[in-house]
Amino acid sequence: MSDAALPTAGPPVRRSAPRGSLIGQIFEGLCFAAATTLLLSLGGIIVSLVIGGWPALSKFGIGFLFSTAWNPVTDVYGAAGPIVGTLITAALALALSLPIAGGVAFFLTELCPAPLRRPIGTAVELLAGIPSIVYGMWGLFVFAPLFSRWVQLPLMAAAKPGSLLEKLTSGVPNGSGILPASIILAIMILPFMAATLRELLLTVPAAVRESAYGLGATTAEVVLSVTLPYVRQGAIGAVMLGLGRALGETMAVTFIIGNSHAFPKSLFDSGSTIASTIANEFTEATSPMHTAALVALGLVLFLITFAVLGFARLLLRLRRAG
C-alpha cells in the first residue's frame, strides 16, 4: 500500500563479486523464490477457481451474477443474493467502524495520558486476535437477543405504517439479519483498522505536529489538517485492509445473517454473503453443479476483492496526481 512513498529505485547497481558472494546469491535466490511462490499460488488459486467453477459459469453465463435463484434441488444457481449481501454488509460495517477506529487511533496518539497508551493499544491489538467463530457465537447467543430487545423491537414499534423506517425495519425481530451482521462485522474489523491507523499516526514526525501546535492549532485542527493528510495514503490502505476482511469474513456472519439466498428487502431481513454461502453448503454439496456454483461464487468474491484493491490504488494515484 505504502510502497508509493518509497523513493523510486534507479537501475540496479552492478558490483564486483565480493567475498561471501555465495551467501549473497543464496539470499537473492531465496527472496526471488519467496516472491514467485506468492505469485504462483495466487495464479494457481485463480486458475483452479476458474476450472472448478467453469461448469456453473458456462451453464448460467453472465446471468449467474444477476439471478437470485439458488435451488440445489433443481440445480439452478444465481449469485445475486449473496453478492448484494456481501457488498451491503461490508459497506455498512465499514461505515460503522471507520469513525470509531479513527477516534480510537486519534485518542491513543493525541489525547491519551501516556501511562494508559500502552495498555489500551495492546487491548486493541488483542481484540484483533479473537477468532471469528467466537464473534459468531457471541453474536448469536449474546448480541442477538439484546439487539432484538433494545433495538429491533423499539424501532419496529416506532415505525409508522408506510414510512421509510417501516420498510427498513421490516422482518423478524430475533436479532438476526443484515444490520446485526454488519454490526458484528464492524466490531471485528475495528481493531484491525484502529491498530493500523495508530501505527500510521505514530509515524508522523513529532516536529510536524509540534510545529502545528506551536502555531496555535487545536487538537482537532492538528488531526484533521496535519496528521491525517500526512498519513493519507497509508490510511486508505488500512481502510482497504478492513474492507477486505469484511468482504471475506465467514463464520461470524454465517451465524447471524439469517442465511436466505433471496435479495434482502430491509435492514432486518435475512440475507447471505458469498463466504457464508460457501461455508454453509460446501461440505454437503453432492451434485457437481452445486460444487461448481460454490467455486464460481468464490471466484466472484475474489474478483470483488480484486476490484476493491484496484479501486484503492486508483484513488491513491488520482490523489497523487491531483
Partner 1 sequence: MLKTLGAAFGAALIVGAATQAFGAGVISGAGATFPQPVYNKWADEYKAATQTSLNYQAIGSGGGIKQIEASTVDFGASDKPLKMADLTANGLVMFPTVVGGIVPVMNLPGFKPGQIKLTGAQLADIYRGAIKKWDDPLLAKTNAGVKLPNLPITVVHRSDGSGTTFLFTSYLSLEAEHWAKEVGANDSVSWPAGIGGKGNDGVAAFVKQTPGSIGYVEYAYAKQNAMTYALMQDKAGQFIAPTAVNFKNAAANAKWTAAPGFYLLLLDQPGANAWPITGATFILMHAKQADAAKGREVLSFFDWCYKNGDAAAEQLDYVPLPANVKDLIRKSWSKIVGPDGKPVYK
Question: Which positions lie near partner 1, rule CB under 8 A?
Answer: 48, 51-52, 69-74, 140-141, 144-145, 148, 172-176, 254-255, 258-261, 270, 272, 276, 279-286, 291, 295
Distance of CA 144 to the CA centre of its chain: 22
Kindly tell me which of 169 and 176 has the beta carbon lying closer to partner 1: 176
Kindly tell me which of 54 and 213 has the beta carbon lying closer to partner 1: 54
Kindly tell me which of 192 and 255 has the beta carbon lying closer to partner 1: 255
| Contact in structure between 191 and 125 (CB atoms under 8 Å) | yes
CA of 33: how far to CAs of 29, 38, 43, in Å? 6, 9, 15
Kindly tell me which of 169 and 259 has the beta carbon lying closer to partner 1: 259
Kindly tell me which of 227 and 272 has the beta carbon lying closer to partner 1: 272
Query: Phi, psi (5° rounding) for residue 213?
Result: -60, -40
C-alpha span between 309 and 233 (Å, rounded): 13
Q: What is the smallest separation between the CB atom of 260 and partner 1, expressed in angstroms?
A: 6
Q: What is the smallest separation between the CB atom of 315 and partner 1, expressed in angstroms?
A: 35
Ramachandran sector of residue 31 (left: φ over 0; alpha: ψ -120 to 50; beta: rest): alpha
Q: What is the smallest separation between the CB atom of 168 and partner 1, expressed in angstroms?
A: 18
Kindly tell me which of 64 and 255 has the beta carbon lying closer to partner 1: 255
C-alpha span between 240 and 192 (Å, rounded): 11
**Residues 84-111, buried b or exposed e (16+ Cβ, 10 A)?**
bbbebbbebbbebbbeebbebbbebbee
Kindly tell me which of 153 and 226 has the beta carbon lying closer to partner 1: 153
Q: What is the smallest separation between the CB atom of 33 and partner 1, expressed in angstroms?
A: 22
**Polymer length of the chain:** 322
With cell 451482521, the residue in question is 181
Contacts of 264 by beta carbon, 8 Å cutoff, 6+ apart: 81, 84, 85, 88, 177, 178, 270, 271
Q: What is the smallest separation between the CB atom of 51 and partner 1, expressed in angstroms?
A: 5
H-assigned helices in 62-163:
63-66, 80-106, 114-128, 132-138, 144-147, 153-158
C-alpha span between 184 and 168 (Å, rounded): 19
Q: What is the smallest separation between the CB atom of 79 and partner 1, expressed in angstroms?
A: 14
Say whether 70 sits in a helix, a strand or coil.
strand
Kindly tell me which of 237 and 264 has the beta carbon lying closer to partner 1: 264
Kindly tell me which of 1 and 76 has the beta carbon lying closer to partner 1: 76
Q: What is the smallest separation between the CB atom of 306 and partner 1, expressed in angstroms?
A: 21
Q: What is the smallest separation between the CB atom of 177 and partner 1, expressed in angstroms?
A: 8
Closest CA relative to residue 236, chosen from 197, 282, 198: 197
Q: What is the smallest separation between the CB atom of 310 and partner 1, expressed in angstroms?
A: 26
